[in-house]
Structure 1
Amino acid sequence: MDGQHYMERYIQEVVRRLPKGQRVEIALELQEMIQEMLSADGEEATVESVLLKLGPPKELAKKYRDDRRYLVSPEYFDNYLWVLRIVLLCVGLSVVFSAVVNFFLDPKQAKEAAMELLYLPSGLLAAFGAVTLLFVILERLHVKFEPSQSSPWNPSQLPPLLQKKAVISRSDTVVGLVFIVLFCMLLTFAPQVFSLYLFSDSKELTMIPVFDMEHWNVILPLILASMMIGLVDEVVKLVTGRYCGAVLAVNAVTNLCQVMLSFVVLKMIPFWNPEFFSWLRKKCDIPDLLPYITEEAFSNLFLGLIVFGTALELGTTAYKSLRYGKN
């Protein structure tokens, strides 16, 4: 393997552990340093021997970071800050949106709708704590399970340069993050948004909730747990930045947990509002469809879609991880 390839792989492993704003500058600095060391060591010098002198990429990255004790280290801080901004923005917008919706749905309850804005500071604080805790746990787990250096370091141990198809784009994760946070906030602060809206002849609004609100105190925690598991999957993809065995393992575990929680919610507890289905059956003009307009039929349909969607996602992740993410 030529020296240029070793050098590129080494620089990649160093700079990926540094804050984003420093990566280009330090990559150029490292390239220049290696070239100077090659010139200084004479004709017998090779890129491999120079890299051996520089030491493992992780140790060299620590010197550039001037490592101290951090709650969230510089290696993770850019991604942490990026996720935190998205989550805080989504939480803030969701609380304000739910207050506005509740006001327009029932202007007589304007005071109660305004009171929901008081939840904004506590919601933002909870989001800040949850994101910070998630990154702290992920970082500690990464350090704990990272392979130890049992033998002298050698440049041949460097992972290969990333293929373009192995990279997980940030735009792929932002959609998942935004959906998860907004959906959780709406279910928490304004579940009545998910309703059938009917206007009488006198233009009086009647709402028929889609969900069984009598059991909402049981349903909501299970849905939030499923969404938080999905959030972990998205954050792992963001932090890792590429398809690999770790991403595949986390995706498999989170998908399995989400399917199990979906089964519990849809099949083991009352989830749908019976009045909603009574109205649908009353308005249905196709007799052959009547047997399918039931709570059980809709639960089976949604569960099937969830299983299909998770299987498709897991299959895609497995394909990209095994084909493009091999070390």
Structure 2
Amino acid sequence: MDGQHYMERYIQEVVRRLPKGQRVEIALELQEMIQEMLSADGEEVTVESVLLKLGPPKELAKKYRDDRRYLVSPEYFDNYLWVLRIVLLCVGLSVIFSAVVNFFLDPKQAKEAAMELLYLPSGLLAAFGAVTLLFVILERLHVKFEPSQSSPWNPSQLPPLLQKKAVISRSDTVVGLVFIVLFCMLLTFAPQVFSLYLFSDSKELTMIPVFDMEHWNVILPLILASMMIGLVDEVVKLVTGRYCGAVLAVNAVTNLCQVMLSFVVLKMIPFWNPEFFSWLRKKCDIPDLLPYITEEAFSNLFLGLIVFGTALELGTTAYKSLRYGKN
């Protein structure tokens, strides 16, 4: 194989383990060092032998950083800050939004709506702790999503240069993180947002919640658990940055768990508000549709959509991981 190609793959594997701000500088430094080693040792020395002297990329990367000085090491720190900023922003906006919505829905309860803002510091602190704990666990468990190495390292073991289609889009991951956090915060602080809004002739507002609020203390923890499982999947994608077997395995497990929780919520617990369906049936002018306007029919529909969406996502991840993510 071409020596230049080996060198590019080696440098790629070293710098991806370093803080983002140092990668360009260290990549140039490594390239210059390898070129000097080639010229200093004579013409018969190959790039492969030079790389063997330098050792495995992950060991060389350790020389540029000291993991023991950090709660979250530089290998994770850029992604940690990225996720932390997104989560804190979403939590803050969600609490403020829920307070504003509650005020406009019932101006007489302005004091209660303002009191919701008192949850902002504790919400931000809890979000900070949760994100930090997640990355500390990933760090302490040495979750690198790399195959174990039993034989001595050799340049032939270097993964190929990443294809563009093998890279997981950071923007897609951000969209997933934002949706999960916002949805969780709205369900926690303002579940009444998910309601049917009716105005009488006197312009008096009547709200019919979509969910069964009498069982909300059981429903909410299950939905939040499902969302947190999805959050883990998004963080793994962000940390890994590319499609591979580990990403596929995590995606399969998290999707399976989410489908199971969805089944429990939609089929085993009173999830829908009966008053909501009573109003829909009264307003329905098509008799043939009446048998389908039931809690069970809607649960089956939503569960089917969840299974379809999960299968589509898992299929896409499997295709990209197997097609483009092979080492």
Range into which the TM-score falls when normalised by the shorter chain: over 0.9
Q: CA deviation at 1:207?
A: 0.2
Contact 2:145 2:246 in 1 (8 A): no
Mark the CA change 1:187 to 1:205 in structure 2 (over 3 Å): closer, same or farther. same
Give, in whole Å, the separation in 2 of the partners of 1:91 and 1:302: 27
Query: Structure 1 residue 141: deviation in Å?
Result: 3.1
Cα deviation digits, residues 196-243 of structure 1 (max 9, x gap): 000001100000000000000000000000000000000000000000
SS in 2 for 1:196: strand
CA separation in 2, counterparts of 1:145 and 1:22? 22
Q: Following TM superposition, by how much is the alpha carbon of 1:146 offset from its aligned partner in structure 2, in angstroms?
A: 5.2
Shift of 1:143: 4.4
Rounded to whole Å, the distance in 1 between the matches of 2:102 and 2:289 is 34
Q: Displacement, 1:137?
A: 1.7
1:323–1:219 distance in 2 versus 1, CA, 3 Å: same
Change in Cα spacing, 1:316 to 1:322, as seen in structure 2 (3 Å) is same
CA distance in 2, matches of 1:167, 1:153: 25
Normalised TM-score (structure 1): 0.98
Cα distance, 1:312–1:145 mapped onto 2, change above 3 Å: closer
Deviation of residue 144 (structure 1)? 8.4
Distance 1:145 1:288, change over 3 A: closer
SS in 1 for 2:197: strand
Q: Return the offset for 1:140.
A: 2.9
Corresponding residue SS for 2:243: coil
3-state SS in 1 of match to 2:233: helix
Matches within 5 A, 1:98-117: 98-117=98-117
* Aligned 8 A contact 2:15 2:61 in 1: yes
Report the CA distance shift for 1:312/1:146 in structure 2 as closer, same or farther (over 3 A): closer
After TM superposition, the structure 1 stretch with the greater mean CA deviation from structure 2, 9-18 or 129-138, is 129-138
Q: Quote how far apart the aligned CAs of 1:2 are.
A: 1.1
CA contact (8 A) 2:196 2:208 kept: yes
CA deviation after TM superposition for structure 1 residue 142, in Å: 3.6
Q: Measure how far apart 1:149 and its partner are.
A: 3.9
1:136-190 residue CA offsets vs partner (Å, 9 max, x unmatched): 2223334488544433221111111111100001011011000000000000000
**Normalized against structure 2, the TM-score is what?**
0.98
Aligned to 2:141, what secondary structure does the other structure show?
helix
Q: Percent identity?
A: 99
Q: Is the 8 A contact 2:184 2:224 kept in 1?
A: yes
Q: How far did residue 69 of structure 1 move? A: 3.9
For the residues of structure 1 that align with 2:270 and 2:315, how far apart are their CA atoms?
Answer: 31
Q: What SS does structure 2 have at the residue aligned with 1:144?
A: coil
Q: For the residues of structure 2 that align with 1:88 and 1:70, how far apart are their CA atoms?
A: 21
- C-alpha RMSD over aligned residues: 1.1
Paired residue total: 327
User: Cα deviations across residues 114-139 of structure 1 (Å, max 9, x unaligned)?
Assistant: 11000000000110011111112223
The CA distance in 2 between the partners of 1:272 and 1:66, in whole Å, is 53
Alignment of 1:150-161 (within 5 A): 150-161=150-161
Aligned-partner SS, 2:144: helix
Report the Cα distance in structure 2 between the residues aligned to 1:200 and 1:88, rounded to whole angstroms. 39
Alpha carbons of structure 1 residues 12 and 145: separation in structure 2 relative to 1, 3 Å = closer
Q: Structure 1 residues 277-286 or 63-72, which shifts more? A: 63-72
Per the alignment, do residues 120 and 187 of structure 1 end up closer, same or farther by CA in structure 2, a change over 3 Å counting?
A: same
SS in 2 for 1:4: helix
Pair 1:270 & 2:235 matched: no
Tell me: CA distance 1:316–1:146, structure 2 relative to 1, closer, same or farther (3 Å): closer
Q: Find the aligned partners of 2:67 and 2:276 in 1 and give their Cα distance.
A: 58
Matched residue SS, 1:206: strand
Choose 130-139 or 192-201, whichever is displaced more.
Answer: 130-139
C-alpha distance in 1 between matches for 2:241 and 2:109: 47
Extract unaligned runs of 5+ from structure 2: none
Superposed CA deviations along residues 243-275 of structure 1, whole A, max 9, x for unmatched, are 000000000000000000000000000000000
**Cα offset, 1:67, TM superposition:** 3.5
Higher mean displacement: 317-326 or 150-159: 150-159
How far apart in 1 are the matches of 2:145 and 2:15? 21
Post-superposition Cα deviations, 1:37-92, rounded to whole Å, max 9, x if no partner, equal 10000011110111111111011111111342422110000000000000000000
- Corresponding residue for 1:67? 67
Q: Equivalents in 2 of 1:121, 1:21: separation in Å? A: 31
Whether the 8 Å contact between 2:145 and 2:240 is mirrored in structure 1 is: no
**Rounded Cα–Cα distance in structure 1 between residues aligned with 2:143 and 2:182:** 31
Distance 1:181 1:15, change over 3 A: same
Distance 2:33 2:209 in 1: 66
2:254 is equivalent to residue 257 of structure 1: no
Return the alpha-carbon distance in structure 2 between the equivalents of residues 252 and 139 of structure 1. Answer: 22
State the Cα distance separating 1:106 from its structure 2 match.
Answer: 0.7
